Each structure stands twice: as structure tokens, then as C-alpha cells.
């Protein structure tokens, strides 16, 4: 198990799967939210992410409820020898290209690319990952970690991530929770799951 997130760009001979969740509820230069998510996936490919799995697009209400227009979400997976830090740098560059501006935590945005997991990496360590995963909701909305946390500390709470991820990686196992994507999804309230709907 990887227990840190090195800053070097590549780890030779260490191919692993990376999972990225994409979301948008504002227009960008690419168009509306659906076009923006689609364009972000295309930019990932252009920047060297050899995408091997891609969910369909889903729509869901903004969180907190009533805080903005509905979101369009998707999840993609790719094999890479990049470190988590290198992947994150590429994702932030794509967000900037598509006009992402960070003003309000969990506010509306043209595009959001979240690194969900990289292989079995736990970053920066299990204790820190558990701290952020178990943080009360009120603290989640006010506090931002200084370092990259992997797996993403909110994955188990978010139907809009787990439903598209279940399409392409249902058996991915959370390295600290010991649950698969499907098991985490089954743990969520039915109302949360019902709010996530495919976009035709």
C-alpha cells in the first residue's frame, strides 16, 4: 500500500488505476455543464490520461440543497504511472483552462475535477485520511485540508460519485474502509440515490 504522495511526476514500473470525478453546474467556454464535463474528459486525454473507462453523465441537485443549479457529473478511470501529485496538477490545469474560480467551498463552479483514488494509495497516511473522512458535516463545509487526501474523504457520502463509479468500477475496494463501491453505495439513503439520474 502506498502511504504517501510523492511530488515526483512518475513512478516507473508502478502502473495503477486512477479515478477522477468530474462535475459542473455553470457554463464555460465549452458550453453548458454537460459540454463542459465532456470537454474536460477530452482535455484529460490530450494531456496524457489514457482513459479506459468512462461513466455516462448524471444529473443531481447542488449541495447544500438550493445553493445553485443542478450538477452534471461523471467518473473516469485510467492507468498511469504518474504520482497522485502529478495527476492533481494536470486536473487543476484543466480546471483553470475551463475557467474554474475558487471563491466559495462547495459553491457553484464551471468545472470540478476531484481525484478520487489512485490504486491503493492512502495519502498522506491512514490516520489523516480517517480524520478527514470522519469530520462532521459542519466542519467539512468550513475546513480544507492542506494536503492531498486519498482516497477522497467524501467518496462514501456522495451518491453522485458512487453511482457513476459503480458503472465502471463497482468492485474497487476502499483501502481504509474495506468496502467496495457497491457496498458504499448500498449504505447510502435511498433518497440520495434517487436524486442522481442519467442524462439522456
**Per the structure, how many domains does the chain have?**
1
Q: What's the pLDDT score for residue 140?
A: 67
Q: What's the pLDDT score for residue 1?
A: 39
Asked whether the whole model's pTM tops 0.85, one would answer yes
- What are the angstrom distances between the C-alpha of 138 and each of 10, 72, 134, 142? 37, 24, 12, 7
- Output the average pLDDT for the chain: 88
In a domain, 200, yes or no: no
The answer to whether 150 touches 79, Cβ cutoff 8 Å, is no
Looking at the chain, the whole-number percentage of residues with pLDDT higher than 90 is: 74
Question: Is the per-residue pLDDT at 5 higher than 70?
Answer: no
For residue 63, give every residue at least 6 positions away whose Cβ sits within 8 Å of its Cβ, in sequence order, or none. Answer: 106
CATH number of the domain to which 128 belongs? 3.30.70.560
Question: Is the per-residue pLDDT at 104 higher than 60?
Answer: no
User: Model confidence at 67, in pLDDT bands (50, 70, 90)?
Assistant: confident
Q: What's the pLDDT score for residue 190?
A: 97
| Tens-digit pLDDT profile for residues 158-200 | 999 999 999 999 999 999 999 999 999 999 999 999 999 999 7
In a domain, 1, yes or no: no
Q: What is the DSSP string of 145-172?
A: -SS--BS-TTGGG-HHHHHHHHHH-TT-
In a domain, 139, yes or no: yes
| Tens-digit pLDDT profile for residues 118-160 | 999 999 999 999 999 998 877 666 678 888 999 999 999 999 9
In a domain, 4, yes or no: no
Rounded to an integer, the average pLDDT of 59-85 is 90
User: Model confidence at 12, in pLDDT bands (50, 70, 90)?
Assistant: low
Short-list 72, 160, 157, 149, CA closest to 117: 149
In a domain, 50, yes or no: yes
Longest alpha-carbon distance in the chain? 46
Domain enclosing residue 171, as ranges: 16-194
In a domain, 107, yes or no: yes
Amino acid at each position: 500500500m502506498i502511504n504517501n504522495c510523492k511530488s515526483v511526476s512518475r513512478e516507473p514500473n508502478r502502473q495503477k488505476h486512477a479515478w477522477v470525478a468530474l462535475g459542473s453546474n455553470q457554463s464555460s467556454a465549452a458550453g453548458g455543464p454537460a459540454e463542459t464535463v465532456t470537454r474536460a474528459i477530452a482535455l484529460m486525454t490530450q494531456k496524457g490520461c489514457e482513459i479506459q473507462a468512462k461513466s455516462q453523465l448524471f444529473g443531481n441537485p447542488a449541495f447544500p440543497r438550493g445553493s445553485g443549479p443542478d450538477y452534471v457529473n461523471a467518473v473516469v478511470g485510467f492507468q498511469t504511472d504518474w504520482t497522485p501529485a502529478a495527476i492533481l496538477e494536470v486536473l487543476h490545469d484543466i480546471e483553470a483552462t475551463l475557467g474554474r474560480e475558487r471563491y466559495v467551498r462547495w459553491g457553484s463552479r464551471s468545472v470540478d475535477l476531484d481525484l478520487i483514488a489512485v490504486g491503493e494509495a492512502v495519502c498522506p497516511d491512514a490516520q489523516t485520511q480517517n480524520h478527514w473522512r470522519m469530520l462532521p458535516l459542519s466542519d467539512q463545509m468550513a475546513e480544507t485540508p492542506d494536503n492531498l487526501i486519498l482516497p477522497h474523504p467524501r467518496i462514501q457520502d456522495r451518491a453522485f460519485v458512487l453511482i457513476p463509479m459503480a458503472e465502471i468500477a463497482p468492485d474497487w475496494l476502499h483501502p481504509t474502509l474495506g468496502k467496495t463501491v457497491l457496498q458504499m453505495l448500498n449504505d447510502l439513503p435511498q433518497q440520495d440515490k434517487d436524486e442522481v439520474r442519467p442524462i439522456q
